Amino acid sequence: HIQDPASQRLTWNKPPVNVLVIRKIRDESLVEPFKELCRFLVEVRRRYANVLISRFVLVSLPQEKRMMVYVERRAADDAALLKDESFGAVRNQLCTFREGYDDISDCIDLIICLGGDGTLLYASSLFQGSVPPVMAFHLGSLGFLTPFKFDSYKTEVAKVFEGNAAITLRSRLKVKVVKDVLQRAEQQPHGRETPQQEHNGQLPHGPASSEFGKVTLQLQVLNEVVVDRGPSSYLSNVDLYLDGRLITSVQGDGVIVSTPTGSTAYAAAAGASMIHPNVPAIMVTPICPHSLSFRPIVVPAGVELMITLSPDARNTAWVSFDGRKRQEIQYGDCIKITTSCFPVPSICCHDLVYDWFESLAECLHWNVRKRQARLADASDSSDT
């Protein structure tokens, strides 16, 4: 039978040892919640110094076995924290890291986010392989992906430590940027049939080598990959391939390839349907297409999409990944996109269905309208 998504639960084989706290930087309103949470976690760390392993045996854990709290160096060095002398003792017990310098992806057991959806996207980007469970508190502007209220953080964090929390496995996209897949000469305009004729309807794709181009960037993306026309005044003109076969050309401002999680972000603004994150799918949404019949489409998870500049494109294109690492795509380059094997386990406040519909209602005001009044008298409904 088909598995009920509600059966997805978080259970711990052992208590979480390393907890990562990520907060939105440059937001002074989050300084106090950040300090509160760190104080609480440090206190929990002290409690974990002694663990009851049976009804009669109480052992002291060695220092390296106790729970450690990790934060970003720039968060710990915030001027407001440095001025607070009462926080100094807590700050000295925090482990710090720097993005791009320190790799903590293999040692974190739980991530706690303070901020908005962008904070969770940033936390996801820190883990390009397996991702620990993520608990996100709504302290930002939107909060579609952050179901927890900070007012009850002690109770909620304690519940997560105890285990058996509902989780949503948010799929990510595995993205590769490959340079010089085709020589420019192969892509000169010889009619729209040329790429299909020369490659039997396919473009070469395979391992990273000089024959098939060079992989210059590989990322795990939680929301979307956006290909657009950048600063050019001309229409973007890119070809879309599915499993190596040319599907269509996109002429307009660009195209969005999104996960179900990303379907409620930029894709929704571009007219796409909203997909529950447990649905295994990839959404392809054109941005302002110069066509009256180009609707967003949903393709199965696991297929490989490939985007290249069309041979007759008047300009290059630009690509960004969850709004980051924006770069130019030249003739002969391609972007390969498929479903990642490393989803983001997002901890639910209630359950994965209720949380999603509550976010639709609270954040996007889904199906909000003034209700039609009931008829005052049954005779009002007659045709006379």
Strands in 165-170's sheet, in edge-to-edge order, are 9-10, 165-170, 344-347, 134-138, 110-115, 18-23, 68-72, 95-97
pLDDT digits 0-9 by tens, 145-161: 999 999 999 999 999 99
pLDDT of residue 206: 40
Among this protein's residues, is 180 annotated catalytic?
no
pLDDT of residue 59: 38
pLDDT digits 0-9 by tens, 329-339: 999 999 999 99
Instruction: Place 3 in a pLDDT band, splitting at 50, 70 and 90.
Output: confident
Tell me whether the CATH fold assigned to 5-170 matches the one assigned to 173-339: no
Average pLDDT of the chain to the nearest whole number: 86
Instruction: Please state the length of the chain.
Output: 384
Q: Rounded to whole angstroms, how far apart are CA atoms 181 and 178? A: 7
pLDDT digits 0-9 by tens, 49-106: 443 333 333 334 445 456 789 999 999 998 888 898 889 889 999 999 998 888 898 9
What is the mean predicted confidence (pLDDT) over 221-250? 96
What is the mean predicted confidence (pLDDT) over 8-16? 88
pLDDT of residue 141: 82
Percentage with pLDDT > 70 across the chain: 84
Classify 184 as helix, strand or coil. helix
pLDDT digits 0-9 by tens, 292-332: 999 999 999 999 999 999 999 999 999 999 999 999 999 99
Torsion on CA atoms 199, 200, 205, 209, rounded to nearest 10? -40
Active-site residue among 4, 78, 117, 239? 117
Percentage with pLDDT > 90 across the chain: 65
Instruction: Place 191 in a pLDDT band, splitting at 50, 70 and 90.
Output: very low
Residue, of 189 and 131, whose pLDDT is higher: 131
**What is the dihedral sign for C-alpha 372, 374, 380, 382?**
positive
For 287-308, letters b (16+ CB in 10 Å) and e give bebeeeebebbbeebeebbbbb
Say which range, 33-42, 201-210, 323-332, has the weakest mean pLDDT: 201-210
**Greatest CA separation for the chain:** 86
Domain spans in the chain, listed from the N-terminal domain onward: 5-170, 173-339
Q: Rounded to whole angstroms, how far apart are CA atoms 152 and 2? A: 35
Residue 137 reports pLDDT greater than 80: yes
What is the mean predicted confidence (pLDDT) over 38-52? 68
Class of domain 173-339: mainly beta
Which CATH fold would you assign to the domain 5-170?
Rossmann fold (3.40.50)
Say which range, 93-102, 149-158, 203-212, 235-244, has the weakest mean pLDDT: 203-212
Instruction: Give helix 31-47 / helix 153-162 axis angle, nearest 10°.
Output: 40
Task: List, as one string, the DSSP characters of 240-300.
Answer: EEETTEEEEEEEESEEEEE-TGGGGTHHHHTTPPP--TTS-EEEEEEES-SSSS---EEEE
What is the mean predicted confidence (pLDDT) over 234-242? 96
Listed residue (7, 261, 358, 21) closest to 157, CA to CA: 21
Strands in 317-321's sheet, in edge-to-edge order, are 297-300, 281-287, 254-258, 224-228, 317-321, 324-329
Amino acid of residue 259 = T
Work out whether strand 110-115 and strand 18-23 pair parallel, antiparallel, or are unpaired: parallel
- Quick count: other Cβ atoms within 10 Å of Cβ 326? 12
Listed residue (171, 176, 218) closest to 342, CA to CA: 171
Is residue 332 within 8 A of residue 181, CB to CB? The reply is yes
